Every structure is written in C-alpha cells, then in structure tokens.
C-alpha cells in the first residue's frame, strides 16, 4: 500500500436466479465475512484471502449451487477489477507455487485487461465436502473473466481437498504479488492495460 490509499472494490453479479455481492479491500489482512452457501467454498475463499492479504466480504444466495458459484466468481472478479482501478504503479505479474502435503499448485497471473484461463489438473471425486468439484473451475474462471486477468494454474496430488486448497492459496499469493504498488506508471509498453 502506498500512503494511505485504500483500494476497495464492490460488485454484485447474478447467474440465473442466483445473486452474489462482494466487497474486497486489496490492502487488507485476510479478514473475511463469507456466506456462499458452501462451507467448503467459504474455507477456500478464506485461504485465498489470507494468502492474498486482502479483506473479502462475500454473500451468495438463490439459484442452484452452480449458479451461485458463477455469480460469486463474477462478483469477486468485478470487485477485484474495480479495486485495481487504473492499474498505475502495480507490479502486474504474480507467480506462486504452494505445496500442501502431497499436493502442489502453481498459479501465474497477469493483471492484463485480457481475460483468459488455462487450468490443468483433475479432481478424483465428484465432491469435496459440500462442493461439487466442477464448481472450483467455475469460480476461478468467473473470477479471471470478470477481473479481466490472464491466469494459468496447474495442480496435482492425491487428496482433492489438498489440491483445491493449494490452488486457492497459490492464486491468492500470485494476486498478492501482482497487486503490489511499485511506482506510478502503468506497467505496459503501450501505456494502457
């Protein structure tokens, strides 16, 4: 954080009959208030916020779980994009690798203004706790698209919980690095992101 500037973002999103609202502070301490409708997703977003040193307040309701996951990811992405502001002075790029017991995840992030996701890895089961495993990708893809970031993630391991948690932590650490303010110029040879 530079000076006493607080980088906040607020957003809402909907998918089908699901709605989500999110407030994010990029210069936070990992404080969360999460009501996503999934205890496991709350746990993953808490890990993401703590690793990313951001404060995150998120609520999702209505619709079916897939719709809530999409609305939630979009709202988080929109709030992040809002908090990035004009992107002046940010590092822009971030990379992290996170081991968790037998699992390992890597995330490389570019706050580019060009949304794109590459996600490599598989979950063995259909559910992790109360979350359907395909919803992990739905949330992360929705965040990348709405925040307009390029994101490459890879994960491997044996335990699905460990794979997912290392993935969310790696994403948080990559964001923590990319959002750092290092100057006052837009980090692009074109002068715009």
Q: What is the pTM of this model?
A: 0.93
Sign, CA torsion 168/141/178/85: negative
55-70 pLDDT tens trace: 999 999 999 999 999 9
Please report the pLDDT score of residue 6 as a whole number.
58
Comparing 35 with 193, the larger pLDDT belongs to 35
Pick from 68-72, 73-77, 174-178, 179-183: least confident: 179-183
Residue 185: pLDDT over 90: no
Residue 123, CA distances (Å) to 63, 129, 154, 184 in order: 25, 13, 12, 42
Give residues with Cβ within 8 angstroms of 191, minimum separation 6.
none
Domain 8-178 CATH (choose: 3.40.50.10470, 3.40.50.300, 2.40.50.140, 3.30.230.40): 3.30.230.40
């Amino acid at each position: 954080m530079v000076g006493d500037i607080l980088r906040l973002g607020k957003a809402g999103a909907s998918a089908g009959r699901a709605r989500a609202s999110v407030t994010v502070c990029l210069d936070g301490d990992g404080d969360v208030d999460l009501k996503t409708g999934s205890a496991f997703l709350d746990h993953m977003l808490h890990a993401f916020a703590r690793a990313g040193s951001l404060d995150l307040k998120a609520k999702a309701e209505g619709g079916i779980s897939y719709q809530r996951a999409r609305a939630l990811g979009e709202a988080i992405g929109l709030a992040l994009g809002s908090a990035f502001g004009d992107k002046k002075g940010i590092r822009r790029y971030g990379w992290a690798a996170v081991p968790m017991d037998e699992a390992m995840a890597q995330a490389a992030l570019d706050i580019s203004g060009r949304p794109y996701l590459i996600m490599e890895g598989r979950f063995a089961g259909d559910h992790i706790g109360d979350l359907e495993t395909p919803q992990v990708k739905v949330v992360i893809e929705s965040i990348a698209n709405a925040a307009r970031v390029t994101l490459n993630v890879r994960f491997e391991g044996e335990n699905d919980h460990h794979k997912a948690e290392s993935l969310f932590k790696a994403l948080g650490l990559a964001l923590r690095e990319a959002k750092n303010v290092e100057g006052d110029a837009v980090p692009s040879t074109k002068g715009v992101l």
